[in-house]
Amino acid sequence: MNSNPKPLMHLKNNQSARIKHIHGGLGLRKRLNSLGIREGQIVKLVSKQPLMGPLTISVGNTQMTIGRGMAHKILVEEI
Amino acid sequence: MIKKIVLMGNPNVGKSVVFSRLTGAKVISSNYPGTTVDFSKGKMHLDGQTVEIIDAPGTYSLDATNKAENVAVEMLEDADVVINVLDSTNLERNLYLTLELLEKDIPAIIVLNLWDEAKHLGIKIDEKKLEEILNVPVVTTVALTGEGIRNLVAKIKKAKTNEKIKPTSEEGRWVEIGQIIKRIEHVEHRHHNIKDRLSDLTIKPITGLPIAITIIFISFWIIRLIGETLISYIFDPLFENIYRPIITNFGDMLGQGFLYNFLISQSPGEINFVESLGMLTTGLYVPIAMVLPYIIAFYFFLSLLEDTGYLPRLATLLDNIFHKLGMHGYGIVPVFLGLGCNVPGMLATRAFETRKQRFIAATLISISIPCAAQTSLVFAMFSDDKIQSSLEFDPIIYILMVFSSLIIIYFVSGFILNRFIKGESPEIFLEIPPYRRPSIKTTWKKTWMRIKWFLKDALPWMFFGVFLINILYTTGAIDFLANLFQPIMSVIFGLPGETSVVLISGFLRKDLAVGTLLSFPSGTFNAMQLVIVATMLTMFFPCIATFAVMIKELGIKDMIKAALIMISAATIVGFFLRLILLGV
């Protein structure tokens, strides 16, 4: 069932996945870390706004909205 | 001895509520970033001693990646005790800051807030074991109801520096947190509850957008209802039945002359509270009986909306549109605040990451967001008996003309500014807090603070403004100004020269300007001209308070740029509105 890591934004609504890798500079990683988005955590896609709009995801009991660019840099693995 | 206590914690953990419980002070606490950048200070009694207590800005770590976090870290330096407030429903993430704090040599106490919510979510935390592991006192609280606060106060003296947590790297801390969580937290599986469903519905585009439109529509309807009710059942009777006899008698005592003109009315006969331009009549009536009711209504409702946590969801839905304007979804927050008063709207633009975003957000607020004081008077203006008789359509049509013009101007100007202002527009990155039931008490406290602030800010300026206009009238300067600007006003905008006086008084306060507008003899302006003046008044220049904040936030150079943009935008729009509405 293990597939290759893919960007977070390719998940479907309500689909969960494990974060494998975060591409990006220290600044981005730190910001994501501070809200609990880290390698190994389970992330769920809550909703996508249309027309390249942002994504809302949840990790643990935290929900947040992030831009598509950021979502491209978070690689996940389906579980 | 304990002299200074600092409260620290992540954003949205209810830190400010804990603070207000400890101090009994009136503090603003909100669900989105921006408002707690300015910290609050208070005092509490501890064993007969007065202790200073500081509510530091919410921060995720001590790395200090932005202004607010810098402030928090600095405050820590001379603290005798630090109270670390945590969100029990997000323990793992919150513990990062805790470990950083415990690595320092400051006596600490840990507060697990939102304890009831954690229970509801099926999260079981062994706080005794946490106390053992961290080696500092741990208390559980529900700050909203006050549960556990007494226990917290009792334990402040027992705060101590821990001996177990040793400084380590970022990776090291996360590993440590993982181990702690395994030992103390147990999460039961739970089903989607109503709050989750509501959260999903309001953030998914298909359902979220219609809900957003409905909420905005209902908000304005309720605000208008509360405002009108307050006016017709409380403020108007107060002025008409109680104040009028008093002030009429006082006027008779003064007799005719300069003092009468100045304090009571420019013209003899029955006092008209709106048009007489006396310090004790118009100077009090406009801010208190016409504007204050709307201020109360607006801020009460805005505070409710803020505290539920709806705004970050609205920001998510609108992110796309705001990107076209060079900002991101957070841009809706300064707009909402600006609709109350432009000053807090300007302050909220700080939470943007780049100069470009801040510049666009601030300029757009000053161009096209009317404050509650101005809005209430635009409503009042078209409902005025004197003007109503000359209206062709229902008053609401004219009011809609003003506001739809401003909305269009907001988007068009934003679109243009985005093209021409250099700089980055980073993506949205916003925490979506869970929906929380707002506490009427906190909401009312917040509203009350804003009312006091309005009165303190509005009354002196209104007095000063009415005083100035009084002098302009008495010396005949109004006619002079009107004649002087007559050519410009009539050639470009098709408006009478008196408009210049209105626009100038708008610099002091926008509500004063509308008041000035109403004081001209009927027939000076026709209905369509009033629409143009009301729109231009919003755009032309910010009031002096907003102007001062803008200089502070943007710097002189950018402020001059913004001012040029405002004046040219107002001129262009005024000209086009003339073509459309007056047809000449």
| Ranges B24-28, B432-436, B486-490, B541-545: which has the least confidence | B24-28
- First vs last Cα of chain B: how many Å apart? 77
**pLDDT band at residue B67 under the 50/70/90 scheme:** low
Chain B positions in Cβ-Cβ contact with residue A30 (cut-off 8 Å): 61, 63, 65
Q: What was the pLDDT predicted at A3? A: 63
Most A CBs within 10 A among B324, B429, B431, B436, hence the mutation to make, goes to B429
Residue with tokens 């831009």: A67
Q: What was the pLDDT predicted at A66? A: 92
Tens digits of per-residue pLDDT, B417-456?
Answer: 999 998 888 888 888 888 877 777 777 877 887 788 778 8
Strands B108-113 and B81-87, sheet pairing: parallel
| Shortest CA gap B357–chain A (Å) | 16
- Is the pLDDT confidence value at B29 over 50? no
The verdict on a CB contact (< 8 Å) between B65 and A69 is no
The rounded distance, in Å, linking the Cα atoms of B356 and B361 is 9
- Is the pLDDT confidence value at B458 over 80? no
Kindly list the structural domains of chain A, giving each domain's residue range(s) and its CATH number in brackets, ordered by start.
6-78 (2.30.30.90)
Q: What was the pLDDT predicted at B243? A: 93
In this prediction, residues B259-267 reach a mean pLDDT of 82
Q: What was the pLDDT predicted at B35? A: 41
Percent of chain B with pLDDT over 70: 96
User: Among residues B394, B398, B393, B364, which one has the least CA distance to residue B533?
Assistant: B398
The verdict on a CB contact (< 8 Å) between B320 and A51 is yes
Q: What was the pLDDT predicted at B30? A: 44
Tens digits of per-residue pLDDT, B292-319?
Answer: 888 888 888 888 888 888 989 999 999 9
Angle between helices A26-34 and B91-103 (to 10 degrees): 110
The verdict on a CB contact (< 8 Å) between B61 and A47 is no
**pLDDT band at residue B47 under the 50/70/90 scheme:** confident
Query: pTM score, two decimals?
Result: 0.82
Of A27, A30, A64, the CB nearest to B431: A64
Q: Quote the DSSP letter at residue B144.
A: T
DSSP string, B484-510: HHHHHIIIII---TTHHHHHHHHHH-H
Tens digits of per-residue pLDDT, B335-354?
Answer: 988 988 888 888 888 878 88
SS3 annotation, B265-332: ECCCCCCCCCCCECCCCHHHHHHHHHHHHHHHHHHHHHHHHHHHCCHHHHHHHHHHHHHHCCCCHHHH
In this prediction, residues B18-39 reach a mean pLDDT of 58
Kindly list the structural domains of chain B, giving each domain's residue range(s) and its CATH number in brackets, ordered by start.
4-187 (3.40.50.300), 205-582 (no CATH)
Contact between residue B202 and residue B313 where contact means Cβ atoms under 8 Å apart: yes
In this prediction, residues B240-268 reach a mean pLDDT of 86
Chain B positions in Cβ-Cβ contact with residue A33 (cut-off 8 Å): 96, 170, 174
In this prediction, residues B26-53 reach a mean pLDDT of 64
Exposure on the CB side of residue B127, measured as CA atoms within 13 A: 16
DSSP string, B387-434: HHTT-SS-HHHHHHHHHHHHHHHHHHHHHHHHHHS-S--PPPEEEEPP
- First vs last Cα of chain A: how many Å apart? 8
Tens digits of per-residue pLDDT, B160-176?
Answer: 888 777 788 888 888 88
As a whole number, the mean pLDDT across chain B is 85
DSSP string, B503-542: HHHHHH-HHHHHHHHHHSPTTSS-HHHHHHHHHHHHHH--
Contact between residue B529 and residue B381 where contact means Cβ atoms under 8 Å apart: no
In this prediction, residues B180-206 reach a mean pLDDT of 85
Tens digits of per-residue pLDDT, A7-59?
Answer: 888 888 888 999 988 887 777 887 788 788 888 888 999 999 988 889 999 98
Beta bridge partners of B112: B86, B140
Predicted ipTM? 0.90
Q: What was the pLDDT predicted at B366? A: 93
In this prediction, residues B472-484 reach a mean pLDDT of 83
- Is the pLDDT confidence value at B64 over 70? no
Of A30, A47, A56, the CB nearest to B65: A30
- Is the pLDDT confidence value at B146 over 60? yes
DSSP 3-state assignment of A4?
A: coil
- Is the pLDDT confidence value at B518 over 90? no
In this prediction, residues B309-332 reach a mean pLDDT of 92
The verdict on a CB contact (< 8 Å) between B320 and A52 is yes
Tens digits of per-residue pLDDT, B400-415?
Answer: 999 999 999 999 999 9
Q: What was the pLDDT predicted at B33? A: 40
Percent of chain B with pLDDT over 90: 29
- Is the pLDDT confidence value at B81 over 90? yes
| Shortest CA gap B18–chain A (Å) | 21
Taking every pair of Cα atoms in chain B, the longest distance, rounded to a whole number of angstroms, is 84
User: Among residues B70, A64, B46, B37, which one has the least CA distance to residue B29?
Assistant: B37
